[in-house]
Structure 1
Amino acid sequence: MRILLVEDEVRMAEMIKRGLEEYDFEVLVAFDGEMGKKMALSMMPDLIIMDLILPKINGLDLCKEIKATMPELPIIMLTALGTTDDKVEGFDAGANDYLVKPFDFRELHVRIRALLQRNSQNTSQMGYVLRIADLEMNVQTKVVKRADQIIDLTPKEFRLLEYFLRNQSRVLSRAEIGEKVWDTTFDTGTNFIDVYINYLRKKIDRNFSVPLIHTKSGMGFILTDQ
């Protein structure tokens, strides 16, 4: 199993790397957030361990950016910041687990093993494919089809549709979509979310007999085939 460690303190990185290698993991090391992002996208690790305070791109932003592209990739925050608020921020950014320094290597190993096992089971069960009616999305290959017709989506349209698919038959408010898909607080003075919803509708609903994206007046939007 390949682990990417993003840690700017060289001595700490070397210590963690040696400890993980004793458990037979292959360990790649990045010393800043920018390097970590490049290595995560190019080297396809099985799991990432990252500090919260990093140069160039901090751990919270790095976690969000990686999860936007590879939502199934397990991420452990490993940091000296251990307050409840710090942990909430880490989990809100998409981290799967949070461990405070100093830590016991045995505990880190147990958490890594649990996440890798869970991710393997989820991957097997999901097959990376999300479906509703005759629409399907492969989150690994980034291929979207409806009635076996390939639909070309921009990265933001893809993420928007993925969020709809993971929350089928649930009304999603504009505020929730803005926060979860755009990582921003929704500004009621703009209509960019409505614009993207319309873009997406044109691609997945137009020319098909059953519309999937519906507007709930005053509440938001819902993906359903009912």
Structure 2
Amino acid sequence: MKQYTLLLAEDEPFLGKVVKESLEKKGYAVMLAPDGKQAWQLYTSFEFDMCILDVMMPYKDGFTLAAQIRQANPKIPLMFLTAKADIRDVTQGYASGGNDYLKKPFSLDELFLRVAELLKRASPENQPADEFTIGSYSFSPKRQELKDSDGTIVKLSHKESQLLVLLLQNKNLVMDRKATLLKLWGDDNFFNTRNMDVYITRLRKKLHKDPAIEIVNIRGFGYKLIC
């Protein structure tokens, strides 16, 4: 079984030590940097499978570091650990290339679950197929577009494409609302829940030409794609 190597950038010595040792007990190899500058030096010197970055760090903040890492490697999973909870900070985190956003204080069990999930999603066998068939439509996640039976192409946003991939991976099953929010938005708060509902409505409109396709709201649980 592959041992994953993680880069942890955290300027609080006690928290960095606890997180590093806890992840190592779970079987990960972890390299700890106390600031953004040293984290970047480690990143350019070693190969990592994932990066866990504090936001408020000396010399180089986590958002700046994430943008540099993302430019060097578009696919490596990036997670932020931060006490900053403002929605603008969360938005900036995702804009800089982050995949997940864990707010302090957090439980180690939640950290373990999110790390495992990000690594699982990044593995080659879990990458989206080049093209899906959805009823009379064909869907290309890479091109972010739907093509109907007449050849008409409808463009999708990045978030719409991500959401449709998850619906397809759970086709004819209930796609759990909270798990989806955590995967795509990093938080299951009211704002993000309403945001996801808007994207679901947009997808329904873009798939309306095939009446056999339904995205059903299973109240209290999530959504189900029927096709």
Partner Cα distance (2:163, 2:78) in 1: 27
Deviation, structure 1 residue 201: 0.7
Query: What's the counterpart of residue 39 of structure 1?
Result: 68
Q: How many residues align?
A: 179
* Distance in 1 separating the partners of 2:39 and 2:64: 17
Residue type of the alignment partner of 1:211: I
Q: Distance in 2 between matches of 1:128 and 1:198?
A: 24
1:95 aligns with 2:118: yes
Contact 1:174 1:193 in 2 (8 A): no
Deviations 1:126-181 (A, max 9, x none): 54434433334333332333334322223333332222122211123544544444
Q: Percent identity?
A: 21
Q: Counterpart of 1:172 in 2: which secondary structure?
A: strand
Structure 1 residues not aligned, in runs of 5+: 22-29, 69-83, 98-114
Which residue of structure 2 aligns with residue 135 of structure 1?
Answer: 137
Q: 1: CA distance between counterparts of 2:79 and 2:187?
A: 23
Q: 1:203: how far off? A: 1.0
Structure 1 residue 223 displacement after superposition: 0.5
CA contact (8 A) 1:173 1:221 kept: yes
| Aligned equivalents of 1:178, 1:209: Cα separation in 2 | 27
Residues 60-94 of structure 1: per-residue CA shift (max 9 Å, x gap)? x56995338xxxxxxxxxxxxxxx93363254265
- The CA distance in 1 between the partners of 2:166 and 2:135, in whole Å, is 16
User: Residues 52 and 214 from structure 1, CA distance in 2 versus in 1: closer, same or farther, beyond 3 angstroms?
Assistant: closer
SS of aligned partner of 2:147: strand
Q: Is the Cα–Cα contact under 8 Å of residues 70 and 76 in structure 2 kept in the other structure? A: no
> CA separation in 2, counterparts of 1:31 and 1:85?
26
TM-score (norm 2): 0.52
Instruction: Verify the 8 A CA contact 1:174 1:186 in the aligned structure 2.
Output: no
Question: Given the superposition, is the C-alpha separation of residues 179 and 149 from structure 1 closer, same or farther in structure 2, using an over 3 Å criterion?
Answer: same
